[in-house]
Chains A and B, each alone.
Chain A
């Protein structure tokens, strides 16, 4: 396939259609409004349903219903809109239904700003809704990967019967980069014997619910979920490690900031001869703790520098992975501003005690 120049938001929407999306429910918000716009035009052409809901809360509950009927379904929004969806996400996770949620993050808290940010890391990976539940969280760093992860998100959601989230920053949504579409057909829907599709008098009715009146039953349900999440954690971590094989500085960053960190690494190499590498988690939950621990504990690594478009959220997971082994510092900006590679390079030199 030839390369085509795509805007991130539209590319992710197209990727969802190619992944077999049948029902999209959403409500416009910058910087992701091109997504519902694209679906409104193109999803019906593929036999799907586009519906602009009256609110974000309505949209996520429509996703709940559509997921229960067994079709591939998704919603998308940006930070404040994703906050509104949290109750629904908890219900969907509790009911063990597959769906995809796309968050093109902007600055917060509250209404914040429409510029790119990564302030929703805690919300995505720790759960913004109530209860002991998990959501698979995937973070793309370029437009091509955003399309690839969209397909993966649907596959993982179906495989484990749980919500999967794409956590992108505003830059991924707004920028244009070449995309090469994989030469593979839209997958056939997998069998979902649990779906509420009508008994036709031939089977007992299926029940989709997150309510358990008996505490024993609710405890059993939580144990079952926990077992599932442990399986996902053991099998579905994804990451990328790029750079020098013997780095002094190990950057840790997800999404677009991983590219800023690589640009900083180029400055450090060219101007100061400092070798660097970038560890980029692709799955934010489950987090690749073991791989990061191994990367940090290469003998050459003197300091770990975490780069984020927030005030230090993934930093907590880097600390968990680090287990106190190497010094960790942080550089980031929140609220829609983006640190320059040079600012990141300066922070890295400071981490080494150099000027």
Chain B
């Protein structure tokens, strides 16, 4: 377990905050140290929204992330803004349903995830973020995929409990897409 510094980024409404929160919450329950820092304010209205998540087995030093080990870019502006700062040896996850561009770096591992198409196949476009999260956890082994899936029954309760299986499937399909 290394010191993982992750930026989740995309348009407001793509569920980037929820991806980060889900990962942080799961990490904490798995006994890891976590922090979640959102961008907030005018950026969130239509522009890019992002959150910084640190997941580590050592003490978390700073909750801010300027040189991520993992970048999740759900849209093109996010990729343009953050891809150059990803550390060599790191991972970039590109939402290829929305982003046509290819990453021109050979010192990082790039994963193109067609999250929108997979979500549509599952019957709900809104689970694209959980498809992406599944890809991130599946490819990096940040934590146990099953632990992330188990979190769904904590997040979706009451009237929303019917969404648990859909999200569990979305996480699985995302992980499968990068294996």
Q: A residues engaging B (CB < 8 A)?
A: 3, 5, 30-31, 113-115, 142, 170-171, 174-178, 256, 259-260, 262-263, 266, 338, 340-342
Contact = CB atoms under 8 A, between A and B. Distances in A.
Interface in B13-71: 21, 24-25, 28, 33-38, 40-42, 60-64, 66-67
B16 to A, nearest CB: 14
Contacts of A5: 21, 24-25, 28, 34, 36
A114 B41 contact: yes
Contact of A177 (B38, B41, B61, B63): B63
9 contacts: A5-B25, A5-B34, A30-B41, A113-B41, A170-B40, A262-B61, A263-B64, A340-B66, A341-B66
A262 B34 CA distance: 17
B36 A175 contact: yes
A263 B40 CA distance: 23
B61 A175 contact: no
Contacts of B62: 256, 259-260, 262-263, 341
A146 to B, nearest CB: 13
Contact of B28 (A170, A174, A178): A178
Interface of B: 21, 24-25, 28, 33-38, 40-42, 60-64, 66-67
B40 A177 contact: no
A60 to B, nearest CB: 25
Given A30-B41, A259-B61, A262-B61, A177 B66 contact: no
A313 to B, nearest CB: 20
Contacts of B21: 5, 176
A177 B35 contact: yes
A335 to B, nearest CB: 13
Given A142-B63, A174-B40, 14 more contacts: A5-B24, A5-B28, A30-B40, A113-B41, A114-B41, A171-B64, A175-B35, A177-B36, A178-B28, A178-B33, A259-B61, A259-B62, A262-B61, A340-B67
The SS class assigned to the B binding surface is mixed
B63 A171 contact: yes
A33 to B, nearest CB: 11
Contacts of B37: 171, 174-176
Contacts of A342: 66-67
**Max chain B CB contacts within 10 Å: which of A30, A113, A115, A177?**
A177
Nearest to A30: B41
A295 to B, nearest CB: 19
A176 B40 CA distance: 13
B51 to A, nearest CB: 9
A90 to B, nearest CB: 31
**Max chain A CB contacts within 10 Å: which of B35, B60, B63?**
B63
Contacts of B66: 340-342
B28 A3 contact: yes
Nearest to A265: B61
Given A341-B66, A342-B66, A176 B61 contact: no
Contacts of A114: 40-42
Closest 3 CB pairs of A and B: A340-B66, A176-B36, A263-B62
